Amino acid sequence: MNNVEQNTIFFILHSIRKNSEYIIKILNVIIKASGEKIEPEDEERIVSDFKKFKKSLLNFSKFNFGTTLNLCTKKYIKHEIQKDTLTISNNSIELYSSLQKKLKMSDKLNRIYLKKYIDSFNNLLNNTNNVFNNNIKYIRKYSTKQAYIDDLEQIFPIIDLIKTKFLEKLV
């Protein structure tokens, strides 16, 4: 594996971790804004699944590279992966910031605004799912050690859980 491939994999791992954290933050803000109560077992499930997923990211990084640090430089990353991943990151940050700003103005959001935010979040989840899928395919292709790669796919059931248990309930 050359430096570009290794840096790209480091970049992917770091981005998946950050973007998945934003997904959880956005979900929490949407739930707060809606005023809906969620079932404790659903909340516990998503928290435990997310913790397990983050641990899998760390295990993959430790096993394959001997470190969990993000050691890549953006200069040596596959352009297409960087572009798609940064688009997801920017959209996540923008949606989260917009939600936070709206919530500072009032405790609950108007139903019309809430519906628009939920639609935007649903689109973000679909795009994230596609980008993560492509990124994991890249990791499979270029990683010399294949251990823990299947564990990286734990993010997909988490995204599905968010869509089915939370977003459908809020719409």
pLDDT tens-place string over residues 86-141: 999 999 999 999 998 888 887 667 888 888 999 999 999 999 999 999 999 998 88
Taking residues 8-20, report their average pLDDT: 87
Which residue in the block uniquely carries the two structure tokens 């969620």?
38
- Residue 124: closest CA among 153, 147, 90, 148: 90
29 or 144, greater pLDDT: 29
DSSP 164: I
Distance CA 140, CA 62 (A): 16
For position 6, what pLDDT does the model report?
80
Which residue in the block uniquely carries the two structure tokens 């919530």?
103
**How do residues 39-94 score in pLDDT, each as one tens digit?**
888 888 888 998 898 888 888 887 777 665 555 555 678 888 889 999 999 999 99
Which helix (H) or strand (E) segment holds residue 42: the answer is helix 40-65
Which residue in the block uniquely carries the two structure tokens 């499930």?
45
DSSP 78: -
Residues 6+ apart with CB under 8 A from 107: none
For position 19, what pLDDT does the model report?
92
Taking residues 148-158, report their average pLDDT: 86
